[in-house]
Amino acid sequence: MRKTPIKRDLLIIQTSITLTSILNIPHFFMDSLKRPSLFYSFFLALLLCSNAVQASQNYEDALAKSILFFQGQRSGRLPLSQSQNLRWRSASGLGDGSQARVNLVGGYYDAGDNVKFNFPMAYTTTMLSWSALENSKRLGPQLENVRVAIRWATDYLIKCATATPGVLYVGVGDPNVDHKCWERPEDMDTVRTVYSVSRNKPGSDVAAETAAALAAASLVFRKVDSAYSKLLLRTAKSVFQFAAQYRGSYSDSLGSAVCPFYCSYSGYKDELLWGAAWLLRATKDVSYRNFIDSLGAHDSTDIFSWDDKLAGARVLLARGSLVANDKSYEPFKQQAQDFMCRILPNSPYSTTQYTSGGLMFKLPDNNLQYVASITNLLTTYAKYMQSAKSTFNCGNILVTPKTLINLARKQVDYILGDNPMRMSYMVGYGTNFPKRIHHRGSSLPSKTTHPQSFGCEGGFQPFYYTSNPNPNILVGAIVGGPNNNDFYPDERTDYSHSEPATYINGAIVGPLAFLSGR
């Protein structure tokens, strides 16, 4: 019956102990030994503090918001129900595809513009699906919201893959024209140019990524909508066959329509590996394993993104060794471990830079896309290692699942506010977050408050160049992030740091779900 004294003593500790006395632990500790109740309360307070530090971020809240973000990126006719909570958005792109006499309505705008680039959209979809597969229980009530986000993309991707035989549509909207305008997606008056690849204009990279997205999504829907799952898998097989049979980069076929925006800088072999890996997981068809072995994609890598899929494919294939205990997948496990050794900061083989604040830093433009994607691999591989009770070494450094999880947590916490700027780089999370993101729909008044169109260039002066905060909060959007000095200026014109993108959020959902369940 010591509840009352303990509460009293703990209250004394909480209200009376100064910072200097906490830091002077030996002196305080000796005093506490003379008073048993104070001794008990001291350690209880330390335990509470420890737990508070461990759970300083609300991962469940961040997870919900990271998924909600996709509603702000929707193209097409928006639902009127609760599945469209960002009410400042409305229908757009309802004539997409008409230039080619096909229906390409739907999908997502990639970032802060009004263009649909299928290459990063398909990658986003693959990552959302992978996150759902590996974290279905941890996602809890958010699992259905992830499925909705995935299906908004896959419905569109199926149209792109099946509208015209022998053709894969890979984008809508001329980026060079679109980027000269600052207008809401609802007001687009630019030509909605349609882009495609075919046997004469190949695009193995975008086609294989589309196949990966559809195959991964087929697994997500397998138990909840078997007919849709079969359609996804059937389409994935067809698109992958096209990618493998007619080799070539879509960058070469489409030129300035995709470059420099989403050039396939890494070539298409990584996408063929990635697509085959996902089809292998979805079908267990040995022909995809034979295809993988014939590719010879053995280059080392220390990056993972919408462009370079080698690391992701190796982690996915390593699952065969760690989870399924199939020794023939051992080489992929070794390649995955090599990648981890290039990422871990204390590894003798590390090739990854970290800021003084602890952020993984890969490239100056939109760095958080790489952080999010690599962090997804950290938590996914840690899960596979836990399944096998496995460890490995980077030189003399022992790597356990906890090693990878701790680094992943550090990166996620940094994004959510544990950084030198004390700023959350997720819009709407916490109290201090980017207010001037590079995003047309967010920065311009909604049609509800301003029904009249601003025109192509009408939004620049009053809304793009202003220092005023964006009128519409794109909840859950993760921006490009700070520079290598941990500094973020929060300027709308600084698109390399202030622009959000679907592929950042598509990758961060997995780590947030993983940490939410711990």
Active site residues: 438
Preceding amide of 260 cis, omega within 30: yes
What does the alpha-carbon distance between residue 115 and residue 454 come to, in Å, rounded to a whole number?
18
Tokens of 227: 């007919």
- Report whether 287 contacts 252 (CB < 8 A): no
Q: Residue 360 forms beta bridges with which residues?
A: 354
Other CB atoms closer than 10 Å to residue 267's CB: what's the count?
15
- Report whether 232 contacts 215 (CB < 8 A): yes
- Report whether 377 contacts 312 (CB < 8 A): yes
Query: Tokens 């993309």, residue?
Result: 153
Long-range pairs of 134-140 with CB within 8 A, sequence gap ≥ 24: 134/380, 134/383, 134/510, 134/514, 135/510, 135/513, 135/514, 135/517, 137/517, 138/513, 138/514, 138/516, 138/517, 139/63, 139/513, 139/516, 140/516, 140/517
- Report whether 135 contacts 99 (CB < 8 A): no
- Report whether 372 contacts 507 (CB < 8 A): yes
How far apart, in Å, do the first and last CA atoms of the chain sit? Answer: 33
What does the alpha-carbon distance between residue 40 and residue 136 come to, in Å, rounded to a whole number?
40
